[in-house]
Amino acid sequence: MAEQMAQKLWGGRFTTGTDPLMWEFNQCLSYDKALYAVDVAGSKAYALALSRTTPPILTTHELSEIHRGLDQVQSEWESGTFEIKQDDEDIHTANERRLSEIIGKDVGGKLHTGRSRNDQVATDMRLWLAQEVQRDIEWIQGVVGILAVKAEEWIDHLAAGFTHLQRAQPIRFSHFLLAHAHSFASDLDRFRDLLPRISVLPLGSGALAGNPFCVDRELLRNELGFQTIGGNSMQSVADRDFVAEYLFVCSLLMVHISRFAEDIIIYSSSEFNWLVCGDAYSTGSSIMPQKKNPDACELLRGKSGRTVGQLAGFLTTLKGLPATYNKDLQESQEPMFDAAVTVGKSLRILQGVVSTLKIFPENMKKSLTPDMLATDLAEYLVRRGIPFRETHHISGSCIRLSEQRGVPLSALSLEDFKSVSPHFGDDVHEVFNFETSVERRDAKGGTSRRAVLEQVEALKSKLVQSAK
């Protein structure tokens, strides 16, 4: 039993075996095997650093052997032939065990000199997450890009804009799409801003006190592509703020996805019938043949709760931990992996949903009613020199009169308008033109044709800049 315990990376001072349930509770290879490639990359860089110490920990031949063995380890993972053993506690244990089997323990056993799993796992997680964020950025760019394309394609179609889920003012349907596109563009900025805080090298920090062999951390930074080096070894091994921040930006992104999905669900209902999701992103009913359900959007809406929950759960774990490394930090990995999978799938599904949307402009047009131009009526009087607070009251009185008469606001006669206010002129009915209304909203960010196209071009430029 003592020999079995000694085989573990930490087993030398233990004399009895681990309770099987405790072993299962403690292991993380079932999910951290996703780190196999970055673990190999980190180990190859660390071996190089060990060969450059004074005196060298590794000879040139030993370095070559370690690199050869690590290349084989990675090849086995990639081909699906890596054999997991019962004592493989995590990806680091598994890779080091297999390395020693390939090149022998005398050389393989030197790789961990001065290194701890504490700085090793932190390095692996940062390497893996930096790659994942780059993929997230590309997928967000895809969503913003297709929304910009659709906004340009559908720019001539008008629809009701809502506040409080009540019809408010006429807009271009493109303006609605771009509202969501701008939220996703902000997400794009947040994911890009996160990269420098992920790209901080922990390797060379040891367990917590630093590396006793003075490995060249600048060499490690350069080999692994980190932007900066962790400035305090205690903080470096225990810092998981980058995971918390990733979970936050993922959660906010998923909230934006959920809100957009909700709008699509509402507007695809028979009560609106403005649009319909493509067959590839819809399902039917097991009992009602006529149903076409926007299940992709409902799932997107539901997945946001999963990601927000991961953030809340991890922050709760993190908040009470003493310095430095504690095994609680193992709980940082599953939320990170889960959020990455959820966000990646959600962004690709959303891009497919938007790409295959079919819209019904005539039904959008039916949502436009004259009362939605009540603000335009007030603005008409403002242009005649009347203070807006007074014109707002006058317009409201006109609305009340139309309701009393049981006719649309636009059906009131000139005499009716003049009975409310003598400031109305013979041209008052020109107010009741939806195209004119949206075109007047021509300030930056507005819903006029020019302003909407300006937004489209700004988003396209942002995508080009972020791709550089």
Domain with CATH 1.20.200.10 in the chain: 118-366
Percent with pLDDT over 70 in the chain: 93
State residue 5's pLDDT score: 45
Cα 318 to Cα 314: distance, rounded to the nearest angstrom: 6
Given pLDDT bands bounded at 50, 70 and 90, which one contains residue 22? confident
Cα 195 to Cα 203: distance, rounded to the nearest angstrom: 18
Rounded (to 5) percent helix, strand, coil in the chain: 65, 5, 30
Given pLDDT bands bounded at 50, 70 and 90, which one contains residue 278? very high
**pTM score, whole prediction:** 0.92
State residue 2's pLDDT score: 42
Catalytic sites, residue numbers:
164, 285
337-351 residue pLDDT tens: 999 999 999 999 999
Task: Name residue 166's beta-bridge partners.
Answer: 163
198-228 residue pLDDT tens: 999 999 999 999 999 999 999 999 999 999 9
State residue 292's pLDDT score: 80
456-465 residue pLDDT tens: 999 999 998 8
Average pLDDT value for residue range 443-450? 98
What's the mean pLDDT when you consider all of the chain?
A: 94
Given pLDDT bands bounded at 50, 70 and 90, which one contains residue 10? very low
Cα 118 to Cα 203: distance, rounded to the nearest angstrom: 9
Residue 63 backbone zone (phi > 0: left; psi -120 to 50: alpha; other: beta): alpha
pLDDT at 109 over 90: yes
What's the angle, vertex CA 383, arms to CA 382 and CA 386, rounded to 5?
35
Nearest to 374, CA basis, from 387, 389, 392: 392
Given pLDDT bands bounded at 50, 70 and 90, which one contains residue 468? low
Nearest to 250, CA basis, from 136, 330, 348, 333: 136
pLDDT at 14 over 60: no
pLDDT at 453 over 90: yes
Given pLDDT bands bounded at 50, 70 and 90, which one contains residue 1? very low
pLDDT at 78 over 60: yes
At 208, give phi and psi (nearest 5°): -170, -20
Cα Rg of the chain, angstroms: 31
Q: Which residues, 6 or more positions from 194, have their beta carbon under 8 angstroms from its beta carbon? A: 133, 242, 245, 246, 249
State residue 27's pLDDT score: 72
Average pLDDT value for residue range 285-303? 84
Tokens (6 digits) for 98 = 């297999």
Estimate to the nearest angstrom the gap between the alpha carbon of 5 and the chain centroid: 42
State residue 289's pLDDT score: 62
Q: Residue 65: CA atoms inside 13 Å, Cβ hemisphere, count? A: 18
State residue 17's pLDDT score: 67
pLDDT at 117 over 70: yes
Q: Which of 21-25, 78-82, 380-384 is least confident?
A: 21-25
State residue 20's pLDDT score: 75
87-106 residue pLDDT tens: 899 999 999 999 999 999 99
State residue 68's pLDDT score: 98
317-330 residue pLDDT tens: 999 999 999 999 99
Using CA atoms, how far residue 176 sits from 4, 281, 368, 385, in Å, is 64, 21, 15, 32
Residue 385 backbone zone (phi > 0: left; psi -120 to 50: alpha; other: beta): left
202-230: b or e for each residue (b if 16 or more CB lie within 10 Å)? bbbbbbbebbebebbbeebbebbebeebb
| 3-class state of residue 139 by DSSP | helix
State residue 192's pLDDT score: 97
Does the domain at 2-113 match CATH 3.40.1350.10? Answer given as no
State residue 21's pLDDT score: 76
Using CA atoms, how far residue 76 sits from 31, 43, 187, 337, 394, in Å, is 17, 16, 37, 22, 78
Using CA atoms, how far residue 146 sits from 456, 463, 467, in Å, is 11, 11, 15
Please report where in the chains the tokens 């949903």 appear, as a residue. Answer: 353
Cα 11 to Cα 15: distance, rounded to the nearest angstrom: 8
Average pLDDT value for residue range 41-52? 98
- Strand residue runs (E) in 2-83: none
pLDDT at 257 over 70: yes
Cα 99 to Cα 46: distance, rounded to the nearest angstrom: 14
Nearest to 155, CA basis, from 137, 129, 175, 138: 175
Average pLDDT value for residue range 423-439? 97
State residue 459's pLDDT score: 97
Average pLDDT value for residue range 71-83? 98
> Under CATH, which number does the domain 370-432 receive?
1.10.40.30
Cα 416 to Cα 411: distance, rounded to the nearest angstrom: 10
Average pLDDT value for residue range 424-442? 97
Q: Which CATH class is domain 118-366?
A: mainly alpha
368-415 residue pLDDT tens: 999 999 999 999 999 999 999 999 999 999 999 999 999 999 999 999
Contact in structure between 151 and 456 (CB atoms under 8 Å): yes
Task: Name residue 161's beta-bridge partners.
Answer: 169
DSSP 256-289: HHHHHHHHHHHHTSTTT-SEE--GGG-B--SS-T
Domain with CATH 1.10.275.10 in the chain: 2-113
253-278: b or e for each residue (b if 16 or more CB lie within 10 Å)? bbbbbbebbebbbebbeeebebbbbe
Nearest to 120, CA basis, from 42, 57, 226: 42
